[in-house]
Amino acid sequence: MLKLISSSGIQSRFHRLTSTSVPALRPTIESTSPLLKVLSSLRRLSLSNPNFGGRVFFCSDSSDGSDQVVDAHVKAAESSADEADSSAASAIVPTSPRPEDYLTVLALPLPHRPLFPGFYMPIYVKDPKVLAALQESRKRQAPYAGAFLLKDEPEADPCVSSGSETEKNVYDLKGKELFNRLHEVGTLAQISSIAGDQVILIGHRRLRITEMVSEDPLTVKVDHLKDKPYDKDDDIIKATSFEVISTLRDVLKTSSLWRDHFQTYTKHIGDFTLPRLADFGAAISGANKLQCQQVLEELDVYKRLKLTLELVKKEMEITKIQETIAKAIEEKISGEQRRYLLNEQLKAIKKELGLETDDKTALTGKFRERIEPKREKCPPHVLQVIDEELTKLQLLEASSSEFSVTRNYLDWLTALPWGEYSDENFDVIGAQKILDEDHYGLSDVKERILEFIAVGKLRGTSQGKIICLSGPPGVGKTSIGRSIARALNRKFFRFSVGGLADVAEIKGHRRTYIGAMPGKMVQCLKNVGTANPLVLIDEIDKLGRGHAGDPASALLELLDPEQNANFLDHYLDVPIDLSKVLFVCTANVVEMIPNPLLDRMEVVAIAGYITDEKMHIARDYLEKTTREACGIKPEQVEVTDAALLALIENYCREAGVRNLQKHIEKIYRKIALQLVRQGVIIEPAVASVQDTEQMSETSIDVDKEQEELQAGHSECPANQSIDVEDKNSSEEDKERGSTMTISKVLVDKSNLADYVGKPVFHAERIYDQTPIGVVMGLAWTAMGGSTLYIETTLVEEGEGKGALHLTGQLGDVMKESAQIAHTVARAILVKKQLENSFFTNAKLHLHVPAGATPKDGPSAGCTMITSLLSLAMKKPVRKDLAMTGEVTLTGKILPIGGVKEKTIAARRSEVKTIVFPSANRRDFDELAPNVKEGLDVHFVDDYMQIFDLAFGEEQS
């Protein structure tokens, strides 16, 4: 880069010089623009004005790339005749003596570029002797030296050598070695200033080295070179110069750097001469140093112009390439900046409007990316709806309410598992193993599930079914559903409909409502991610009914195998195929389920567990789980079978095992506290034994240890049975020689009350010997089966006072059964004992104990008749007899429900003889053998059969 050497002194001198020598030119230069001045200067190129005064000093790039501005202290001008001939075109004010008088000069090497006349260059002089010689010359009024370009090393590549290495080599060169490396043609340079080791040189004229004078510092003899004569009117020279000017003009239009050089050059120098034009073009071009040196050595003006023209043309091509690159980069940068600014403005606007997260393009891309993997499996009508909604989303404003509705709708539509099914397990043996691991008993349920798997294996695909598990609380209906899902390798989803009163929870809301959401079934499919999960609908018998419709009716479409292949949710409004979904419903009371809904289900009854089944469940499942949850090891606790049996009979008599689990957890919590307290008490005793061992350094006898441990055992509470054993008592510990102790808590029937309190239930058999007028009946409740007594007594007896009074919080059905029983009993009594007028003259009171419990149901008729006849005939019934069944006015026995529950209740009360209606024989035959074992069951269809059974044998 070239810069004008400016200083206030030089500028003032230049102004004075130009104002005095060329007064007519000043208004023209000052009144025109810099560009017009340059063009006009180039256009007026002529050799007729060689005496135009004033030159400005330029320099090429220094070795370190820095631009230096030099303050040139020019001495007073001395005019002479020779000056006009030799340096008429020079603006350098000569010193005395004249430059052409210097025939011996110091040789200064230039590592990068040659110095052209009229330009300046800063160089660094590291040699102290050379620097001292330059300073001495400047003091002696002879501030001149020779600047010569340094040749490249023969083995070095000039294209790859770095500037720092070149400078280092220059500093090392001295004497004859340096002389041999210098080009012969150089420039006479005026020493403008010296600042430290930096010397500013100003080029004057060309020199040629003739011989070396001295080596340190290097001094050489030189000849001053002049340009060869040329014809200024030669057409070839003119054409070449005009082409140089034209090329410079083109470069001037594109390069601002060159434009600055032209402006400053023409302002202070004026018109160009042909030699000056050639030097100027070569000096400011970007050519390499050898090409510039070739121009410097050329004394033929025409050839110099040709060389300069080549350099300028090349510079023009480089400028065009530079302009293309700059334009491309500028377009790229401006485009990115524009996009960045627009995006920032868009973000700011969205932030002000609260829409910074609503990018429609991003949303559309997300929805398309989500549905793309499912596109082949997705039904065509669903794909059509999704595409329509995506198009609609692009047209909507992000601020509109319809936009959020459409976005949420697409979110649900694309999130559903269209056509995606999990791989099912059709291995019957594996499923049987899983079901047996999770549940004991429940053969009916397990058999039904295995049938479902077997059908699926034969068909190769499974169809959804609706299975309803009915039974009392705590029998494991919900956990059975989870086990079925594990056995089938299906995803599991549970939702409870107990107390559900809004149809929208099942069928979904309309999309136009605020906060609208799909129904539970659509939410299930989204959560599980498959279209064939196992859905457990819990508490289906407790559906509510409110102002928002009837949920039980809304479930019809969901649970109908003929309709759920095209289930229509109000929110999605597109049919969904639920035919592969396995629905498992749970209910406590089947009668509470609406008949249209019940008709679509396959009911599997879970009656509850007998004592034997509860023992297995408690021992194999509940105790193990509870022990692990409490952090107790198996060797620390032993709960006997007698304790578990007492717990089941006296505390947990209901059909389920949830209450049994609570009591077992209660026992283990107390044991955990007991073990912790016991550890605090026993640890010092163990420590004292160890101290005694260390002091005596002898082994302690096993019997002595047992005595000490028994002493520690005596400190435990009296109501706790604790077995403290030494590990040495076992064979393994004898081998190890261990002396540690283990405390084992024993829970037996004797101390069970210390853990769970007093028994809640007592024996249901109130009477060892059944009194007259008392008969045991069998009842079914939501908690399972139970036995209850029906008692009848005489209030008063008199002529025509026959009446019946009922108590025991009986329902309408049982009140009607009592009236029917009263009528039938009178008819039977007349038939058996014609002379007995008991019912005619007796006022009777019939009572069912546990009066605080509501009782109702059509199965107490035969029991009431037997109670009334026992009182009328003054005969007690058999003590081991229990009966159930409804009676018509003609004495026929009607079937009842809950055969298994009533059988279990009879066994619990140690009843051996049971009377069932004949129509219930099939139900009894389906019971497990362990339930029927040891029972004498009679199936009757007429009450006279019961009469013979109850009163036919003499009771002791």
What residues does 203 pair with on adjacent strands? 189
DSSP helix, strand, coil percent of the chain (3-state; round to 5):
50, 15, 35
Alpha helix positions (H), 416-566: 428-438, 443-459, 477-488, 504-507, 520-528, 551-559
Please state, as a whole number, how many other Cβ atoms lie within 10 Å of the Cβ of residue 510: 11
**476 is an annotated ligand-binding site residue:** yes
Please state, as a whole number, how many other Cβ atoms lie within 10 Å of the Cβ of residue 339: 10
**784 is an annotated ligand-binding site residue:** no
SS (H, E, C) 499-518: CCCCCHHHHCCCCCCCCCCC
Return the closest-CA partner of residue 863 out of 792, 780, 932.
Answer: 792
Measured at the alpha carbon of residue 451, what is the angle toward residues 446 and 457, in degrees to the nearest 5?
125
Q: Is 902 part of the annotated catalytic residue set?
A: yes
Contacts of range 389-394, beta carbons closer than 8 Å, 24 or more positions apart: 389/413, 390/364, 393/360, 393/363, 393/364, 394/360, 394/364
**380 is an annotated ligand-binding site residue:** no
What residues does 13 pair with on adjacent strands? none
Cα–Cα dist 392/566, whole Å: 26
DSSP, res 621: I
Query: Scanning the structure block, which residue is given the tokens 């026995």?
Result: 893
C-beta of residue 411 within 8 angstroms of C-beta of residue 393: no
Return the closest-CA partner of residue 185 out of 90, 298, 303.
Answer: 298
Single out the catalytic residue among 462, 470, 859, 867: 859
**477 is an annotated ligand-binding site residue:** yes
Residues 6+ apart with CB under 8 A from 756: 647, 651, 663, 666, 667
Q: Which helix (DSSP H) or strand (DSSP E) does residue 727 occupy? A: none
**478 is an annotated ligand-binding site residue:** yes
Q: Residue 159: what residue type?
A: C
C-beta of residue 722 within 8 angstroms of C-beta of residue 716: yes
Single out the catalytic residue among 491, 507, 900, 902: 902
DSSP, res 618: I
Q: What is the DSSP pairing of strand 104-110 with strand 637-639?
A: unpaired
Residues 6+ apart with CB under 8 A from 283: 2, 58, 60, 116, 118, 119, 292
- Burial string for 294-307 (b: 16+ CB within 10 Å, else e) reads bbbbbeebbebbbb
C-beta of residue 261 within 8 angstroms of C-beta of residue 58: yes
**474 is an annotated ligand-binding site residue:** yes
DSSP, res 410: H
Q: What is the DSSP pairing of strand 219-224 with strand 198-214?
A: antiparallel
H helix count then E strand count, the chain: 36, 26
Dihedral sign computed on CA atoms, order 886, 892, 898, 900:
positive
C-beta of residue 755 within 8 angstroms of C-beta of residue 747: yes
**471 is an annotated ligand-binding site residue:** yes
Q: Which helix (DSSP H) or strand (DSSP E) does residue 82 occupy? A: helix 81-86
Q: Residue 32: what residue type?
A: T
**99 is an annotated ligand-binding site residue:** no
Alpha helix positions (H), 836-898: 838-841, 861-873
C-beta of residue 424 within 8 angstroms of C-beta of residue 488: yes
Q: Residue 228: what residue type?
A: K
Residues 6+ apart with CB under 8 A from 782: 472, 473, 588, 589
Alpha helix positions (H), 697-777: 702-713, 731-736, 753-756
Q: Is 86 part of the annotated catalytic residue set?
A: no
Residue ranges at the known binding site? 471-478
Active site residues: 859, 902
Residue ranges at the known binding site for ATP? 471-478
